[in-house]
A and B are shown apart, each in its own frame.
Chain A
Amino acid sequence: MNQAVISCLHANLPAVEAVLKDIELQGITNITCLGDLVGYGPQPNEVIELIRDKKIPTCQGCWDEDVVDGLDACDCSYPSQLAEKRGHFAHQWTTDKLTKENKDYLANLPYSIRKDKCLFVHGSPNSQHEYLLPDMDAFAALERVENARAEILFCGHTHQPYIRELADGSIAVKIKNAASKDIQEKEIQLPMRRIVNAGSVGEPRHGGTKATYVVHNEVTNEVKIREVEYDLELTCKAIIDAGLPPIFAWRLKNGFEFAEQAEDASHVCER
């Protein structure tokens, strides 16, 4: 049985509709969303209402949390002061636009969703703001999955889709303690674990313009990244019409990576 995992919708209604259509065409009814329903994009209420209508289980993303609780991430989330200013503007714009009902919905989203061996989070099991980048330290990546007691960790936040398998691991240790003169040596085998990043539906940062999500076969464990075209012009026009920073439309249209993300994957925002 296949399940679809979507993330980082970012108030981009045409992209969300196109991805949901693509999922429907494949006959998949089991969908999980990893949050960031809002932020950057021009249709936050419409996107939230679509997800609510379809009763898609969703975890809270960093934007969803910040819109409800106020900006509390440190400025590590932004590569420049200009980017930070744009982010703060979009935050305020989104906060003003959202209905109370939709804010309440975001406020009550769970931090994570667990289904058997799968754990679904927005950033990492540690924080909605932590980036699990595809090439981060392999042991640190494995620790995130293992300490969350999962076999497959589904995440988003980076806007870059990937599937990472961590296998054939071991660590040897030498131990000396005050209670004994002997030095003890042992080798610990590490379990095989996977991290699956669903990329972004509403604001791709993979160098192209297509929305991405992933399909996981729960029987074979196979995971596929899917790319979906959507009406880009419609979203870009809505961004301009809404008075949001034009660069949000420009980067979507060109598929350029000028988005806001921290470079240090191990960094967790101080609050």
Chain B
Amino acid sequence: MIERWALVSGLKGDLDTYELIQKDLKKTPGNITLFVLGDMIGPEKNCNRLLHRLINPKSNDLQPWCIYGWWEEQILLESGYRGDQRAEALRINKGEEVVKSLTNAVDKSFLDWIAALQFGFVELDCGLIHGSSKDVGENLTLDTPPLTLLDRLTRLQVNRLFTARSKQQFHLELTEGIVNSEVEDLNGNRKKEQKVPQKAVIGIGSGKNYTLYDVGTDNTQFLQAGYKSEKRIMGFGGL
């Protein structure tokens, strides 16, 4: 049986999109595991129905495995789940109205569930996170320096890092590289050549744009809920 991961993020309370994705996945062959990499909530719409569905899946739903994202971090900050800190970055960048909209969009009864979510999952040799291994709010994009990407992979000690924060869909593979290191200390000098291990960072998209990852072949497919077949014809197979 083909083992596939469906990687979703940025639903921001959009139950319709979640249902579309569930519908797509039911038609997808193979054994599918659904990961929701944060930003289930947002300030734009009431998130309670989606949160209720994630916590209480319908009998024919794929069970979602959720982690927290940047918006969850903001509501936890604002609700006092992170000590004395509040969502100041959100307040400064988006204003008090957005902070209010966010707290109004999520019923307080869901906060304990959100607070219990993990920062990320490590499955096989893959890290599944919202932002980066450094920070939930860090954007990893195609333009992020490869040295930074390699560091974020190294921190989690994984070969594949799935990230959602940038909203972009991409597969960036570090194929080769080298750096020469020379250390001088009280014992003398030593030189070492270190090669880049083959690793990849995958941007999974946001909202209707999600990613299907074939665990056995390392192939990624960038999909859009409701338009899966067309996207597949475009052929975003593995590198």
Asked whether B180 lies within 8 Å of A170 as measured between CB atoms, the reply is no
CB contact between A166 and one of B145, B175, B179, B184 (< 8 Å): that residue:
B179
**Residues of A in contact, count (CB < 8 Å):** 43
Choose the segment among B11-19, B99-107, B149-157 that binds chain A (4+ C-beta atoms closer than 8 Å): B149-157
Residue of A nearest to B169 (CB): A178
CB contact between B142 and one of A147, A163, A175, A266 (< 8 Å): that residue:
A175
**Residues of B in contact, count (CB < 8 Å):** 40
Distance, CA A167 to CA B192, complexed state (A):
11
Residue of B nearest to A187 (CB): B177
B176 interface hit (Cβ, 8 Å):
yes
Choose the segment among B22-30, B33-41, B52-60, B231-239 that binds chain A (4+ C-beta atoms closer than 8 Å): B231-239
A155-181 contacts to B, CB under 8 A, are 160-178, 181
Asked whether B181 lies within 8 Å of A138 as measured between CB atoms, the reply is yes
Binary per-residue interface labels of chain B (201-239) against chain A in the complex, 1 for a CB within 8 Å, 0 otherwise: 001010001000000000010100000000000111001
CB contact between A174 and one of B154, B175, B183, B194 (< 8 Å): that residue:
B175
Asked whether A161 lies within 8 Å of B175 as measured between CB atoms, the reply is no
Asked whether B239 lies within 8 Å of A177 as measured between CB atoms, the reply is no
Taking CB atoms, residues of chain B closer than 8 Å to A185 are 175
Distance, CA A165 to CA B179, complexed state (A):
10
Binary per-residue interface labels of chain B (173-192) against chain A in the complex, 1 for a CB within 8 Å, 0 otherwise: 11111111111111000001
Asked whether A165 lies within 8 Å of B181 as measured between CB atoms, the reply is yes
Taking CB atoms, residues of chain B closer than 8 Å to A183 are 239
Distance, CA A167 to CA B179, complexed state (A):
6
Asked whether B172 lies within 8 Å of A225 as measured between CB atoms, the reply is no
Binary per-residue interface labels of chain B (89-103) against chain A in the complex, 1 for a CB within 8 Å, 0 otherwise: 000000000000000
B129-184 contacts to A, CB under 8 A, are 142, 145-148, 150-151, 154-155, 168-184
Residue of B nearest to A188 (CB): B146
Taking CB atoms, residues of chain A closer than 8 Å to B234 are 181
A139 interface hit (Cβ, 8 Å):
yes
Distance, CA A126 to CA B173, complexed state (A):
26
Taking CB atoms, residues of chain B closer than 8 Å to A178 are 168-170, 205, 209, 222, 236
Distance, CA A140 to CA B150, complexed state (A):
8
Asked whether A175 lies within 8 Å of B150 as measured between CB atoms, the reply is no
Asked whether B177 lies within 8 Å of A172 as measured between CB atoms, the reply is yes
Q: A165-B181, A171-B150, A190-B147 are in contact. Are A177 and B175 (CB under 8 A)?
A: no
Taking CB atoms, residues of chain B closer than 8 Å to A208 are 186
Taking CB atoms, residues of chain A closer than 8 Å to B145 are 146, 188
Residue of A nearest to B209 (CB): A178
In whole Å, how far is B121's beta carbon from the nearest beta carbon of chain A? 18
Distance, CA A263 to CA B7, complexed state (A):
34
Asked whether B184 lies within 8 Å of A163 as measured between CB atoms, the reply is yes
B196 interface hit (Cβ, 8 Å):
yes
A13 interface hit (Cβ, 8 Å):
no
Asked whether B175 lies within 8 Å of A172 as measured between CB atoms, the reply is yes
CB contact between A167 and one of B146, B150, B180, B186 (< 8 Å): that residue:
B180
Distance, CA A135 to CA B194, complexed state (A):
11
The 10 closest A-B pairs by CB, nearest first: A169-B179, A171-B177, A178-B169, A177-B170, A178-B222, A162-B185, A143-B151, A171-B146, A138-B194, A138-B181
**Chain B residues at the A interface, C-beta cutoff of 8 Å:** 142, 145-148, 150-151, 154-155, 168-186, 192, 194, 196, 203, 205, 209, 220, 222, 234-236, 239
**Chain A residues at the B interface, C-beta cutoff of 8 Å:** 134-135, 137-143, 146-147, 160-178, 181, 183, 185, 187-188, 190, 206-208, 212, 225, 227, 266
